[in-house]
Amino acid sequence: MGAAFFYHLTRGPLEQALPMLLDRSLANGWRVVVRGTDPGRMDWLDQKLWLGDEAQFLPHGLAGGPHDSLQPVLLTCAAEAPNDPACLMAVDGAEVAPDEVQRLERVCILFDGHDDQAVQAARGQWKTLTDAGCAAQYWSEESGRWEKKAEKTA
């Protein structure tokens, strides 16, 4: 049984936090699916991930290609994850179901702390997931480094 980790982005944008979390997940030997809500935004994230330093390259692809099942990191808006991930990273308010949290090693929910709608959506997801018995942690970067601010055990 996994856990949902909520990442409240207040200091840096998604395109800074996501590569750090992806790198850590890949270091754990996990395949990752990054789920968003807008294909254009996922294309934008794909471009941002390709522009990184060559020494910090993150192997990834956009869903819909011929090799989706082989991708270490797959960017998608769909609920399906053909790359058999151990970790799901939900961005831009993408929905996460309690059974996904329980089935996967880790679910990361990244949300923009400067967007009131995103904060409210994340609070709703926290309540939905914890009410369903999922373990969850809330992380904030408000102090300048990531700190765990809350935890709910399953």
For the segment 34-44, the average pLDDT, to the nearest whole number, is 97
- Cα(28)–Cα(147) distance, integer angstroms: 20
For the segment 4-29, the average pLDDT, to the nearest whole number, is 95
Q: What is the CATH number of the domain that holds 59?
A: 3.40.50.10110
pLDDT more than 90, % of the chain: 85
pLDDT higher than threshold 70 for residue 74: yes
Average of per-residue pLDDT values in the chain: 94
Domain hosting 61: range is 3-152
pLDDT higher than threshold 70 for residue 55: no
Predicted pLDDT of residue 54:
63
Report DSSP letters for 113-147, one per residue.
TT-HHHHHHHHHHHHHHHHTT-EEEEEE-TTSS-E
Predicted pLDDT of residue 53:
63
The count of domains in the chain is 1
